[in-house]
Structures are given as C-alpha cells and as structure tokens.
Chains A and B, each alone.
Chain A
C-alpha cells in the first residue's frame, strides 16, 4: 500500500514536472524567438550584435542581471532585462546555451 502510494506520488510528480517542462518550453521558445529581431534566429546573429547561441549560461545570467541593475551600461538592453523575471532570464540562459552556433543565412536583396 505504501509502495503503491509512493509510486502514485512519483508518477504524479513526474507528470507535473513534464507538464511544467512543456509549459516552460512553450513560454521560452516564443520569448527567445522574439530576441531574434536583433540577435538572429536562435541567437545566431548575422552581425552587429552579440551571438547568443552557445553562450555560457552563467555569463548570460550575469550580464542580464548587470543590465538590469545598471552595472553594465547599455543603450537598449536594460529596457529588456528589466522587463523579464529572474526565472525567465535563467530559462533564456539555458535555451541559448543549448543552441548550436552556426552561420545564419541572409536573404539577398534584389538591389535594383
């Protein structure tokens, strides 16, 4: 009986964790994708801004917290860092750290 209870509790917990993981994944994939306007698809910037793909997660978190506190001066990043929760910053750090670095393509302008 106790074993069965434990098993049920374990199953419930793993279900809760996986449901939470799906939810976090949905949340972060959209938030991370909205960084693409400046930092490229999956953080692979085509130039002019830092590449976030494959960035060390601790470094990412430290820099975002520094933007938030104003310890690292910035033009635009403090406006974004201040709008995110600490959990979101951690999850973004995980997300970008897991992205492979690769050269993003650029569309060819028709140049007429």
Chain B
C-alpha cells in the first residue's frame, strides 16, 4: 500500500470517529466499493458479516448523505419531507467500513487500482461498482447544464432536485399544466414515474384542482402496475391526468418549458423531464458497461463483470431483465457479498441464488400497492428469472400504505445500521 493511501484512510477513520480496526499488518485483501446507495452500502455491511475481519472494506461515495429515492415521490405529494429520507453513513462504522468522500476519476482494471479526484490511488483485491444510473444528456443536450436542470428538474436522483420540483409545484397557479416525460425502459424504478404522476395529482387535487397533468410516455404503455395505476387515476383524480403513449421527447425549449415529441409541441407550467439512463459513470470509466455501451453484463452467481475480472457490478447498472429497484439492489449486493466471501475462503459460491423483490407505489398519501416476485437463477440460461406466483396487488389500500412505510423503515435499518 502506498503511504498516502494509508494516511488518507487513517485520516478518514479519525475524522469519523476511529473504531477498532484490524491491524494493518494482518490485512491482505482490500475490497473497494464505489457508490454508497442501497447496493453499495448493503454490500459493505454484508461483506463484513460474511467475509469476517480479515478483509479491508473501503466505501467511496461522493456524498456525505444517503438520500432515499424510495418514498421521495411523497415529497412531491407533500406527505414527506426530504429530511425524513436523508441519513448519514455512520451506522456502517459498526462494520469497520472505511469511508472516503471522493469522486473516482479512473479505474485501471488490469493493475487493479482506482484513482480519486485528489489524485490519490488505491489498489484492490476486488472492486464492487455500485454507481446507480447516469443520465444520457447527449440525447437532450439542452438539459445538460445545471442551470437548465434548475428550470427543468429531473428529480430522478432524490435530494435538491426533488425539493426543486416540489417548490415549482407550490409556485404554480391553479389551472396550470404539469408535464412529465418518461424515457423508454429500462430506467431506474419502473413504476416510479407513474407513482410520481399520482403524487403530483394528489397535491394538485387538494390545492390546485383546476390544474392538469400531461404524461408523455416514450413507452407504448405504462411499464409497471398498468391497470392499477389506470384505475387509481380514474378513481382518485378523474379528468386530471392525460396519458399519451409513444411520446418520446425529442427537443426541449428550456426557457419556455416547452417540449417537442414526434407528434406535437406541449407547453408546461412545470416541466419534469426524466432523461434516458445508463450505468453510472464509474461503470463507464471501468469499461464494464459492455451492453450497448449502456449497461453492465454480469455473472449472476457473483455479479462479476463479463469483461473485467475482479470487478463486480451491482444495482441499477446491471444489464438484466430485473427491475431496477432498491430492494433488487440490496438483494444483488447480498448475492455479491456472499459470493466474494466464498471466493476469499476458497469455496464455490451458491450455484442457484434465489431472492425476493417487493416494490410499493403510493397513489395518494395513504394508499399503496405492490409488485412482488421471487427471482431464481436459471442454470441453463444463466440469468435470474421470475419464479411462479409473483404478481401485483388487487387494488391500492391503506393497509399496503402502512406496509410500504414498514418496508422503508426496515430496509433503511438493514442497509444503514
């Protein structure tokens, strides 16, 4: 290890309240995790639980806070504040996870080293890349600047952007038009855009009932929980929501909050463009986004890249017929952590991983509905496939609204403490 690596890590430990660490002399294997979202934070914790103390775990994240995307649409509806969904990473200290607040600027998968924005380098035994999604601004270059994103928020990474969109809705006059653009699948959180429509409708119905919502969906139909959303919109928000399928936004007039699709020009008072997405930047830097230069192909027994040995990818960046959800990200992280623990111990990973995914969507402040599936490894096709018996709610209910809150509290506890 380079001396500067050592100083940096000690510094990080000291600043965050140093905990008993394995002695430096005994540490031979370092696992670096890049990205501290649901996937990365879970991998850090479970690696410690399953690989023991003889491994050094370093988590590199640019943000000092963890802001949950799940439930963040409720900030738009008004039943949550962003601070309710914002946490720090201190719970990971219990697992002796060294945390570095830095941006990774280069990954050398041959030399097994990463470079950070301050020029410091760090070597690894194995690297876990968990960067979430990156936005494909080249398809909408007029929205690339942060100034443009102030006027037209994406709010697809929770935080300041979510608050911005909420404030714009608060400022909109009654009778205004909210326009949301949904990219072609795959994107992060399949039902998320439709939950957002429901939350904005909930707010507008209560405070600005003359207002309209226009949904410009690049997909041929609602991509998740279709009939549940369609029925909920008709029951709860009759006449408020106009849904337009096959409506991909091609151009945006930022100053006038106007979008052009292939068929029409639509003027908004508040405009939310959710851009097309690909694997997060670090996956691109590491050269592991090998599917259409967009998503990462992995071995589903270990989540190791198909193109770079010792590099594992988990969460939204993975190319799979799996929903890009928070629960899915944590399940992938656990398969990956378990497999790495096995490999370090000279054992074979589980040849047939199985895990569950549950995803709730709120259609008002209290009513929610789910989609749930068990996913099982198919050894012939070498992919994860939904098992029999999965499905969605019969209808949204208050009971499921309570379960959705319990889901959030339990997953936060599991990931962050």
Residues of A within 8 A of B (CB): 22-23, 26-27, 29-31, 33-41, 45-49, 68, 75-76, 78-84, 88, 104-112
Query: Is the CB–CB distance between B400 and A46 below 8 Å?
Result: no
**B367 CB within 8 Å of chain A:** no
User: Separation in Å of the A85 CB from the closest CB of chain B?
Assistant: 9
A30 touches B406 (CB 8 A): no
Chain B, interface size category, equals 35 or more
Which residue of chain B lies nearest to A109 when distances are taken between CB atoms in the complex? B84
Interface CB pairs A-B, < 8 A, 14? A27-B350, A30-B335, A30-B350, A33-B334, A34-B355, A38-B406, A38-B407, A49-B406, A79-B373, A79-B390, A104-B413, A106-B409, A109-B84, A110-B65
- Specify the chain B residue showing the minimal Cβ separation from A112: B83
Partner of B372, one of A80, A107, A109: A80
With A34-B331, A38-B410, A83-B389 as contacts: A75 and B355 at CB distance below 8 Å: no
How far is B372's CA from A37's CA once the two chains are assembled, in angstroms? 12
- State A26–B342 Cα separation when bound (angstroms): 8
Interface stretch (choices B85-93, B135-143, B168-176): B85-93
In the complex the two chains form, what is the Cα distance from A49 to B402 in whole Å? 9
Closest to B347 in A: A22
Residues in B whose Cβ lies below 8 Å from that of A37: 326-327, 330, 356, 358, 407, 410-411, 414
Provided the pairs A34-B356, A75-B399, A79-B389 are in contact, do residues A45 and B83 lie with their beta carbons within 8 angstroms? no
In the complex with contacts A76-B358, A105-B91, A36-B353 CB distance below 8 A: no
Additional pairs, 15, CB under 8 Å, beyond known A84-B374, A104-B413:
A27-B352, A30-B331, A31-B354, A31-B355, A34-B331, A41-B417, A46-B409, A75-B397, A79-B372, A80-B372, A82-B388, A106-B413, A107-B417, A110-B65, A112-B83
Does B22 touch A at the CB level, under 8 Å? Answer: no
* CA–CA, A109 and B358, complex, Å: 23
| A29 adjacent to B50 (CB under 8 Å) | yes
Interfacial chain A residues near B87, Cβ < 8 Å: 107-110
B112 to chain A, nearest CB (A): 26
Residue contact A47 to B409, C-beta cutoff 8 Å = yes
User: Which residues from A are CB-within-8-Å of B154?
Assistant: none
Would A75 and B349 count as touching, CB distance under 8 A?
Answer: no
- Listed from nearest, the 8 A-B pairs whose CB atoms lie closest are A82-B389, A48-B406, A83-B374, A83-B387, A105-B417, A34-B355, A79-B372, A112-B83
Q: Which residues of B contact A78 (CB under 8 A)?
A: 389
A-B contact count (CB 8 A): 164
A107-B412 contact given A38-B358, A75-B393, A83-B390, CB 8 Å threshold:
yes
Across the interface, do B406 and A45 meet the contact criterion of CB distance under 8 Å? Answer: yes
Cβ–Cβ < 8 Å partners of A68 in chain B: 389
List B residues at the A interface (Cβ < 8 Å).
Answer: 46, 50, 65, 81-88, 91, 326-327, 330-331, 334-335, 338, 342, 347-358, 370, 372-374, 376, 386-391, 393, 397, 399-400, 402-403, 405-407, 409-414, 416-417
Considering the chains assembled together, what is the distance between the CA atoms of A80 and B354 in angstroms?
11
B410 adjacent to A48 (CB under 8 Å):
yes
Chain A residues with CB below 8 A from B347, complex form: 22, 26
Q: Are B373 and A83 in contact (CB under 8 A)?
A: yes
- Chain B residues, Cβ within 8 Å of A26: 338, 342, 347, 349-350
Taking a contact as CB atoms under 8 Å apart, the answer to whether B410 and A34 are in contact is: no
Which residues in A have their C-beta under 8 angstroms from that of B82? 112
Nearest CB in chain A to that of B326: its residue = A37
CB distance from A3 to the nearest CB of B (A): 32
A47 to B65, CA, bound (A): 24
Beta-carbon nearest neighbor of A82 in chain B: B389
Interface pair B83/A111, CB less than 8 Å apart: yes
- Report how far A104 CA is from B357 CA in the complex, Å: 21
- B65 CB, nearest partner CB in chain A, Å: 7
Q: What distance in Å separates the Cβ of A80 from its nearest Cβ neighbour in chain B?
A: 5
Residue of A33, A37, A41, A48 with highest tally of chain B CB at under 10 A: A37
Are A75 and B403 touching (Cβ within 8 A)? Answer: yes
Closest chain A residue, CB of each to CB of B345 = A22
Find chain A residues with CB under 8 A from B403 CB.
38, 48-49, 75-76
